[in-house]
A and B are shown apart, each in its own frame.
Chain A
Amino acid sequence: MEPLAVDALRALARARGLELTEPELEGLLPLVEAARSMMESLRGAGLEGIEPACQYRIL
């Protein structure tokens, strides 16, 4: 997984309507990286063929 640079994070944030300061971007970057790593782990978790949980029970 390619590491995310602050510039890329800034661009992504702007695309989502978030104007973040440099310190805010630097503070957020490790959290985003940790989350990306977790999301990557889900992609490798053998979820193929499994449907999303449906919590809207008809019971």
Chain B
Amino acid sequence: MILLENVSKSYKNGVNALKNISLYIDEGEFVYIIGPTGSGKSTLIKLLDGEEIPDEGKVVVANTDVGSLKHKHVPLYRRNLGIVFQDYRLLPSLTVFENIAFAMECIGEDKLTIRRRVREVLELVSLEDKAKSFPNELSGGQQQRVTIGRAIANHPKVLIADEPTGNLDPEMSKEIMELLEKINEKEKTTIVMVTHDSTIVNNIKKRTIALEEGYIVADIKKGGYLKND
């Protein structure tokens, strides 16, 4: 599903974000990506969603060579992914319902399908009663759930979550994790979750890939946070 082959990426300001990374993530997997600030986690996500182009190597997601996409084809590719951002990135002038529906309207789904699916998704993220609220009327956890709902609305093959619990308290984080697991099981969605919340990684054990200074320093199939950092 996700394949990185000898990928390197550096920025104009001289920062080498990723160095010769190779990685394979299979369909239906749930993977944590951990590592300290500046280890290249965000760059990895940006490479996966097509926001950045690798300097060297190949990034293939869902049979698409992400690095070679044209500017105008990037959004089309993104329809294969659901992306959950740490800062939510909801459209402020749209209600919760419309925000989730928007992702489906983009790909030209018909009204009836959209309405049915949005209801379904709202139920999945337990926000049925907030459908008509605007994002700024919701708590952080609720907004994060809307983002997740929007990300999964189109049945993406891959769900990328960038620190989805970063701004939330432990109780809320637990809720979000349960939701992601539910999605992983129910919809068979491949999930790549970037986090530095050691509690989550230790409690809910999944395949864990550790990044440090642009290298993969560990890839633990059975999961758990690294003891030696």
User: Do A and B belong to a common assembly?
Assistant: no
Name A's B-contacting residues (CB within 8 A): none
